[in-house]
Structure 1
Amino acid sequence: MNEMMIGFILLCVLFALLASGFWVAFTLIAVSIAGMVLIGNDNFGLLFGTSTWASVSDWSLAALPLFIWMGEILFRSNLSKDLFKGLTPWLTGVPGKLLHVNILSCGIFAAVSGSSAATAATIGKMTLPELKRQGYDDKMAIATLAGSGTLGLLIPPSIILIVYGVAAEVSIGRLFMAGALPGIMLVILFMGYTAFWSYRNPDKSPQTERKYTWTEKFSSLLRLIPIGTLIFFIIGSIYAGLTTPTEAAAFGVVGSLILAATSRSLSMNTFIDSLMGAVKTSCMIIFILVGAAFLTMAMGFIGIPRMLAENIALLELSPYMLLFILTIMFIILGCFLDGISVVVLTTSIVLPMVLEAGIDPLWFGIYIVLVVEMSQITPPVGFNLFVIQSLTGRDILFVAKAALPFFFLLLSAVLIVTIFPQIVTWLPHTMSRG
């Protein structure tokens, strides 16, 4: 039985198990075992132990549970209220007004959360009721939250960038640097579209707003100092080379505990809840990484990555055509899997093709995160759609339709970084030379 036939059988097994609701980690392990059996290798027990230990004992992976815990602590603090009150006075004169609070709050919170779902849930709990009370268009309020909630995947520190860095053996610190400018670009795209929509639909925004004095505006900035300081320290220390991502994550946990304590939202119950939330999320992600490591090893024994790389080379596809095909594949996978599962499931198979085509794996990491961001607002399994549905009680199709313009904005961001890859690579290359 050749590699092509084995690959087809394993693909059928993979989709059958996923369609049945089988856990992603167990599915990856089951497919790996099936592949080893098909090639007559019965040492999969020993191979599972050796391959998985190496995948989860990488020290850089220690940043993962720490950043998740930091996000869980801040999720339970009064940070989101301070963000809203600190940004509101500055946005009442901008077309779109308080709709921009969704975008900027998500961008700021993403820089300390690293989680798309946590970003959308935290900001949405506070902004959506206030926007509805003031008479903003419900559909646009949901759209801005769904779209900008995905920033948690890209703006560093990003959990999914840590996962990709470990899987692809790319520096996590350099990935964090590479994600900064594309993240800022997305915020600008989202705010630009929101301002344009508001200009074209003036009847869907409240016309009477409270006027703030300059004194009130500058005093409101005091609410942003704590979170701004935490962001500056975490990201700045990594960019300056003063700390590794793991060390910065540890300091971030301490900083988030101090913020929660000073805002009087830290109690024994919230501390335990944040710790348990971080443990559950970390275990889920690491278990998926274990399955993905075993699948990577099994695919290597079978020879599927080599076969795919050779076939891609024979097709003589241009890098742009390869990226076009991969984009379609990632979007389809994102309709059925969460972002982290997409990354760990595909990296070992796709990366040889990417390297064969001469594509920078650092740039590819940001590209894949942008495409995964698109899948977060793509039905039927867009995680952000489910989060917002639970917040609003709206039908999932209504939420998906509302988020559609932001899907196309994310698609345009993919095109921009493909045409101008320097947006991704300039900062890490500049910092490494410095």
Structure 2
Amino acid sequence: MELTIAALLIGLMLVLLAGGVWIGLALMAIGILGMLGFTPRPPGDGMAVAIWGAGSSWTLTALPLFLWMGEILFRTKLSEDMFKGLAPWLERLPGRLLHTNIIGCTLFAAVSGSSAATCATIGKISMPELTRRGYPESMILGTLAGAGTLGLLIPPSIIMIVYGVSADVSISKLFVGGVLPGILLASLFMGWVILWSLLNSKRIPPADLKTSLLEKFSASRNLIPVVLLIGGVLGSIYSGIATATEAAAIGVIGSLIIAASQKSLSKASFIAALMGATRLYCMIALILGGSAFLTLAMGYMGLPRHLAEWIGSLGLSPAMLLLALAVFYILLGCFLDGISIVVLTMAVLLPTIQSAGIDPLWFGIFVVVVVEMAQITPPVGFNLFVLQGLTGRQITTIARYAIPYFLLMALAVVLLYVFPGLVTWLPGKMIG
């Protein structure tokens, strides 16, 4: 009976979403219908308590601050400076400047928290330069599509904040737990570029004039702002000096200083950054509020408990359960964004994950990596849309270029399962 109710509510939700109803309002509508139809409790007071509780969470304060930091940096010359600072060091590495996409996305991910912002910002500065120098389009777009997803994994990550709030997991530990998996993915991407370049050496343009060691160090001065900002945000969390929210405030102050020093901070850009972050946060907060109420409604209906019992009765091993969830998340990611996926599924799946003995901290990183895979999976891979907007190329073409990076992410998921310490080791070393 419960499974029939769940299927009915999910079907109604899909109808609402397909009709263009905002995700947060669709979640609230399903919660109201569920409580009216299948519980004796009126939905009004439960909705007020759930939405107020979700919106007044102190932990969630980090989210608008990190969004604001990313919006400020989006309007600076940070990505251009990263390209200038990295290029001289990569001239002897197979693939040469293609690695600037990966390293640039990795660095910018550590100050943006958004996959789309990372992909768009690095793409705007690197694509014209790499195209002008004769690098193949397939590798330019492929590296951007794959490495752009690191905005979700490398802290500070917006989706990690949402997961931490939804699953009651320490956001600071999630941030620190994403560092090694993020480096692992970036290394896998760079390894593929090196291998491809060795096999297709004639398609890589020759190196420019070789720079001396002194010139390389001189160019590296362009990396100082981003390195200081990353060190300030992550260092304060890792050392126990600041919580995730306090580190977000440090990031905002640092980004304002960078913008002012680059003379890109004006009244207009300040207001534009503030309003951009406000609009994005309001959208996310509406989704979180709707999710909180739907979670409460499902609790009254007993759906999470019965669904967990049903999945438990299937007798799946933890490995098979994770495989099934990976496929489920990738399919769901074809139609929803990562934040919506997390808030829609955590209430139902978390009891099952805990009963299977899976660490919620490790599972959070697993979810982020799998959602990253969905970012480059058609028909609704967000990074594919970003690159389509930048290039005008067909989404199917860009998706084909991104296939190797999708497979490398799948390999990373396997490595995280085999070596869970990649996620849990650094959080275990945190002070405080």
TM-score range, shorter chain: over 0.9
Map of 1:112-127 to 2, 5 A cutoff? 112-127=111-126
Map of 1:186-197 to 2, 5 A cutoff? 186-197=185-196
Alignment partner, residue 318 of structure 1: 317
Alignment partner, residue 96 of structure 2: 97
Alignment partner, residue 333 of structure 1: 332
C-alpha deviation, 1:207, in angstroms: 2.0
SS in 1 for 2:21: coil
- Alignment partners' CA distance in 1, 2:396 and 2:97: 25
Map of 1:32-431 to 2, 5 A cutoff? 32-41=31-40, 43-431=42-430
Answer yes or no: is the 8 Å Cα contact 1:6–1:38 preserved in 2: no
C-alpha deviation, 1:38, in angstroms: 1.8
C-alpha deviation, 1:252, in angstroms: 0.8
SS in 2 for 1:381: coil
Q: Which moved more, 1:10-19 or 1:394-403?
A: 10-19
Answer yes or no: is the 8 Å Cα contact 1:327–1:371 preserved in 2: yes
SS in 2 for 1:136: coil
Answer yes or no: is the 8 Å Cα contact 2:27–2:294 preserved in 1: yes
Count how many residue pairs are aligned between Structure 1 and Structure 2: 432
Letter in 2 for 1:369: V
- Alignment partners' CA distance in 1, 2:157 and 2:297: 28
> Which string of whole-angstrom CA distances, capped at 9 and with x for unpartnered residues, describes residues 251-274 of structure 1?
111110110110111111111111
Alignment partner, residue 17 of structure 2: 18
> Which string of whole-angstrom CA distances, capped at 9 and with x for unpartnered residues, describes residues 381-404 of structure 1?
111111111111111111111111
Letter in 1 for 2:198: Y
Alignment partner, residue 27 of structure 1: 26
SS in 2 for 1:425: helix
Residue 8 of structure 1 pairs with residue 7 of structure 2: yes
Letter in 1 for 2:304: P
SS in 1 for 2:155: coil
- Alignment partners' CA distance in 1, 2:106 and 2:335: 26
C-alpha deviation, 1:42, in angstroms: 5.4
- Alignment partners' CA distance in 2, 1:208 and 1:349: 53
Q: Which moved more, 1:112-121 or 1:2-11?
A: 2-11
C-alpha deviation, 1:208, in angstroms: 4.2
User: Which runs of no fewer than 5 residues in structure 2 stay unpaired?
Assistant: none
- Alignment partners' CA distance in 2, 1:414 and 1:91: 28
**Percent of aligned positions that are identical:** 56
- Alignment partners' CA distance in 2, 1:248 and 1:369: 21
Letter in 2 for 1:401: R
> Which string of whole-angstrom CA distances, capped at 9 and with x for unpartnered residues, describes residues 103-139 of structure 1?
0000000001111111011100000000000000011
- Alignment partners' CA distance in 2, 1:156 and 1:405: 24
- Alignment partners' CA distance in 2, 1:142 and 1:171: 35
C-alpha deviation, 1:22, in angstroms: 2.1
- Alignment partners' CA distance in 2, 1:282 and 1:153: 16
Answer yes or no: is the 8 Å Cα contact 2:384–2:399 preserved in 1: yes
SS in 1 for 2:330: helix
Letter in 1 for 2:416: V
Answer yes or no: is the 8 Å Cα contact 1:289–1:344 preserved in 2: yes
SS in 2 for 1:431: coil
- Alignment partners' CA distance in 2, 1:49 and 1:371: 33
C-alpha deviation, 1:210, in angstroms: 2.2
CA RMSD of aligned residues (A): 1.0
